[in-house]
Amino acid sequence: MPIYTYKASGPDHCRYCMNYFERQQKLNAARLTQCPECGAPVRRVITAPTLARPAPSLSEKNIGDKGFTQYRKLEKGVYEKTIGKGPDIIRDDE
């Protein structure tokens, strides 16, 4: 269930709604129009979604699955492919 943030929209407010407060509501639930504590008019505030998911792991399988190619350094200027569709060896011509 998403969490919505509300804030008093007018001059009337209580300690509860003078700053932001959050309510967990179903997506299709009617939005609050009044503070549940004091009845003052409130408005819903749009907040950025929280990035709760951790970043995808950079395992070799993951990299290959996403179509990337990963190399590991063999020696100076020479890289060997560990996974992916790219060339097997990359050489720096410097």
Binding site for Zn ion (CB under 5 A): 14, 16-17, 35, 37-38, 40
What's the closest the beta carbon of residue 35 comes to Zn ion, in angstroms? 3
- With respect to Zn ion, which residue has the nearer C-beta, 43 or 72? 43
What's the closest the beta carbon of residue 33 comes to Zn ion, in angstroms? 12
- With respect to Zn ion, which residue has the nearer C-beta, 32 or 38? 38
Q: How far is CA 80 from CA 18, 66, 69, 72, 93, in A?
A: 60, 19, 10, 5, 15
What's the closest the beta carbon of residue 56 comes to Zn ion, in angstroms? 42
What's the closest the beta carbon of residue 57 comes to Zn ion, in angstroms? 44
Sheet holding 21-24, edge to edge: 21-24, 3-8, 42-45
> Of 54, 53, 12, nearest to 35 (Cα)?
12
- Residue type at 94? E
- With respect to Zn ion, which residue has the nearer C-beta, 10 or 49? 10
Return all residues near 82 (Cβ < 8 A) that are at least 6 apart.
60, 70, 71, 72
- With respect to Zn ion, which residue has the nearer C-beta, 12 or 90? 12
